[in-house]
Amino acid sequence: MTTAFSSTVDTPIGPFTAVVAGDGAVLASGWTDSLDDLLPQVSPTLRPTTVTARRDLGDVTRAVRDYHGGDLAAIDDIPVRQRSGEFREQAWAALRTVPAGKPVSYADYALLTGRPSAVRAAASACARNAATLFVPCHRVVRTGGAIGNFRWGVDVKRWLLAHEDRS
């Protein structure tokens, strides 16, 4: 991969930037306006050599705006491209099956991956998820419902969970 495109959208919880491949697949995203926060999370085999800023990324920008505006399903069909080992890729795919408003515990998430004893590995997959929001790692909480950690901050995770619970 050589060229990708980025765009930053203002949201109720701060700027949200997405980096997409030429075919529109999200490579990285999160609540930041800095590519330096996003690009290190992209697999070296997918990391672009050039990122060109655009005002709008089409379907991706629309999905970000619509999701934050209350259409929680807007992110569901956006393509994502992440690369890692077999377990992590399977774990990221499993995250996309967790419905909005129905957070799961790390133990339940491990079960969704098909490896119920791999709770720490599942948590690690969450931590290394580059395509935040589109691969909704914020929907995984600690047993008992405690928020847990989140790359973009506990306040952002709390807002996302409340946003999905209200809708």
Q: Which residues are catalytic?
A: 137
73 vs 22, 54, 81, 133, CA distance in Å? Answer: 23, 24, 19, 11
Q: Provide the angle, in degrees to the nearest 10, between the axes of the packed helices 119-127 and 86-95.
A: 80
> In this structure, which amino acid lies at residue 15?
P
Handedness of CA 160, 23, 93, 88 (dihedral sign): negative
DSSP secondary structure of 105-139: EHHHHHHHTT-TT-HHHHHHHHHT-SBTTTS-GGG
What are residue 48's DSSP bridge partners? none
Q: Which two tokens stand for residue 31?
A: 């609540």
